[in-house]
Amino acid sequence: MMPMFPEVSRFLKDEPLKMYIGGSWCDAADGGTFETVDPGDGRFLARVASGAGADVDAAAAAADKAFRARGWADLPANDRAVLLHRLADLVDRRRDILAQIESLDVGKPFTHARDGDIPNVAQTLRYFADLSVHMRRREPIAVSGFDARSVRAPYGVCAFIFPWNFPLLLVGWGIAPALAAGNTVVIKPAEETPLSTLYFCKLAEEAGIPSGVINVVTGFGHTAGAALAKHPGIRRMSFTGSPEVGRLIGEACGRNLVPVKLELGGKGAAVVFDDVDVDSTARALAAAVTANTGQVCCTATRWIIQRRVFEKVLGTAEKALAATRIGHGSEPETEMGPLVSEKQRHRVLGYLDRGEKEGAKCLVRGGKADIKGHEGGFYVKPALLSGPPDNICAREEIFGPVAYLMPFDDEAEAVALVNRSAHGLANSVWSADLERANRVAEAMVAGNSWINAHNLFPHGVPYGGWNLSGMGGGVNSPETFHDYLRAQSIVRPL
Ligand code: NAI
Ligand code: MG
């Protein structure tokens, strides 16, 4: 086991860890706290302030004050970008610290956080900082008889409610465009994983981001989250998580007439034609199932495989899954960590049971995994199921290392199977025939289609979902930056 860095032990030993509101570190107004655990052994990791309505009020007021003080919104774009670059540099410099905090809180392998999540946060801050310098905020509109132009300005206080699967990465993807555009933010991280977001605020302070520009209220969904979603001081809302809670957030924002971005779950399909290199395709799909222990909204959880190669894909994937090293995130050889919580493990195992009861066949049997020395951890084995397309495991998001396999004969049947889903986030198509791959990519109804790969997120390409997967746009593109600027037109008769 990798030892804890002294900086991480120091950070965790505050009792409780405080929220960050208006540039101060505060306890909850009612003194409430909650515990966060290490999912790798189920043990106590840290005690954290449990915010609720009064703390949300304070955070929204602090963010509003910082917005009105004009020390952020009115900075020249260049100066704001310099501060965001400074923050990105600090994220890079503390990469190992942040990665260890993330790994301990979510259970993901330290190496994955260090080489994936954390550097991506820095890249995202830089991407939007640079973009903000080059995007035009005033543009002439050519109409006869009028002098007209459009102007874009930040909204004010933007609120964010995040889930636990990629805690700091989602904070980066979420707030970087809002901040670069000149807004101020209030963040409610998931109760399972508050730690990296709090440490990130220390770096924001060190980078010189003015007080009140970034505020964090830690706490539960039904208290802190619900209070934030319906707060009258919020000008824009963003939520990532389950469709059930997404609907509640949408209702609250509808009532307040606040624009809302909902990033909900997915049931990603991978369509595999029989002209692929079976070996590399099956390995890539197996890797997509075990990535982040399957707790990835867009990953490949329905494999739709042309009949001639079905058994070969299955055989290779089965071997790859069996070879995946499951263990504690702090063990250097670990490739797949535990699920985030006992609640999530219960949910995943429940799906496997119900799927089988509804007639799915277990091709690779999942279930609890016991890891020596970490008996209290929330480990599961990867699973592959097969059966009819109306099985619960083919329809609903499981959020664990599970895929549902279905054979197909021709292209039209494959596309129809993909589009049976109520979700519409991301799918992939695998074929050596690029003309066919492009045709299928366009025919799949979703926010994203990938060709001969799954889970691609280059900065600059919009990423988001439709239908049960959400609404209101995506992340990581110039459009996302514009989402955080309200448009205004100015007209004078000539
Ligand atoms: P969740 O939707 O309950 O939690 C996500 C966030 O919403 C957390 O910060 C939570 O505190 C907050 N929240 C919960 N109830 C709230 C309320 N009434 N008002 C305001 N905020 C509230 O998701 P949960 O229970 O953690 O996971 C359940 C399932 O949701 C997963 O199995 C998965 O299928 C899906 N999910 C999808 C994610 C995605 O990336 N799209 C991420 C996490 C979960
Ligand atoms: Mg929850």
pLDDT one-digit tens code per residue, 69-90: 989 999 999 999 999 999 999 9
Summarize the confidence of residues 122-132 as an average pLDDT. 98
- 192 and 46 in contact (C-beta within 8 Å)? no
Summarize the confidence of residues 99-127 as an average pLDDT. 98
Q: Which of 102, 191, 192, 263 is catalytic?
A: 263
pTM higher than 0.85: yes
Which residue is closest in CA terms to ligand 1's atom 8?
190
Inform me whether the pLDDT recorded for 270 exceeds 90: yes
Ligand showing the shortest atom-to-Cα distance for residue 243:
1
Helix axes 411-418 and 434-443, enclosed angle (nearest 10):
30
Whole-number percent of the chain with pLDDT over 70: 100
pLDDT one-digit tens code per residue, 450-489: 999 999 999 999 999 999 999 987 899 999 999 999 999 9
Q: How close is the Cα of 50 to the center of ligand 2, in Å?
A: 14
Q: Which atom of ligand 1 is nearest to the CA of 348?
A: 32
Inform me whether the pLDDT recorded for 18 exceeds 90: yes
Summarize the confidence of residues 168-191 as an average pLDDT. 98
CA angle (61, 63, 69) in 5-degree steps: 100
Query: How many angstroms separate the Cα of 266 from the Cα of each of 160, 241, 305, 398?
Result: 20, 10, 19, 9
Question: How far apart are alpha carbons 72 and 413 in whole angstroms?
Answer: 53
SS3 (DSSP) at 354: helix
27: amino acid identity, one letter: D
Q: Which of 161, 97, 172 is nearest to 129 (CA)?
A: 172
In this prediction, residue 52 carries a pLDDT of 98
Sign of the torsion formed by the C-alpha atoms of 51, 52, 58 and 62 = positive
Average pLDDT of the chain is 97
Token pair for 33: 């706290």
pLDDT one-digit tens code per residue, 284-329: 999 999 999 999 999 999 999 999 999 999 999 999 999 999 999 9
Summarize the confidence of residues 206-230 as an average pLDDT. 98
Q: Which atom of ligand 1 is nearest to the CA of 266?
A: 41
| 263 is an active site residue | yes
How many other CB atoms are found less than 10 A from the CB of residue 262? Answer: 23
Q: Which of 253, 297, 298, 393 is catalytic?
A: 297
- 242 and 264 in contact (C-beta within 8 Å)? yes
In this prediction, residue 70 carries a pLDDT of 80
Which residue is closest in CA terms to ligand 1's atom 38?
241
Confidence band, pLDDT 50/70/90 cuts, at residue 344: very high
Determine the length of the chain: 494
Which residue is closest in CA terms to ligand 1's atom 37?
241
pLDDT one-digit tens code per residue, 54-70: 999 999 999 999 999 98
In this prediction, residue 473 carries a pLDDT of 77
Inform me whether the pLDDT recorded for 14 exceeds 80: yes
Question: How far apart are alpha carbons 297 and 56 in whole angstroms?
Answer: 28
- 368 and 339 in contact (C-beta within 8 Å)? no
In this prediction, residue 2 carries a pLDDT of 93
CA angle (435, 440, 441) in 5-degree steps: 95
Ligand showing the shortest atom-to-Cα distance for residue 244:
1
Inform me whether the pLDDT recorded for 424 exceeds 90: yes
Q: How close is the Cα of 218 to the center of ligand 2, in Å?
A: 13
Which residue is closest in CA terms to ligand 1's atom 19?
226
Q: How close is the Cα of 241 to the center of ligand 1, in Å?
A: 4
Token pair for 337: 């960590």
Q: How close is the Cα of 453 to the center of ligand 1, in Å?
A: 27
Ligand 1 pocket (Cβ < 6 Å) reads 161-165, 188, 190-191, 220-222, 225-226, 229, 240-242, 245, 248-249, 263-265, 297, 347, 397, 399
Ligand showing the shortest atom-to-Cα distance for residue 220:
1
Inform me whether the pLDDT recorded for 46 exceeds 90: yes
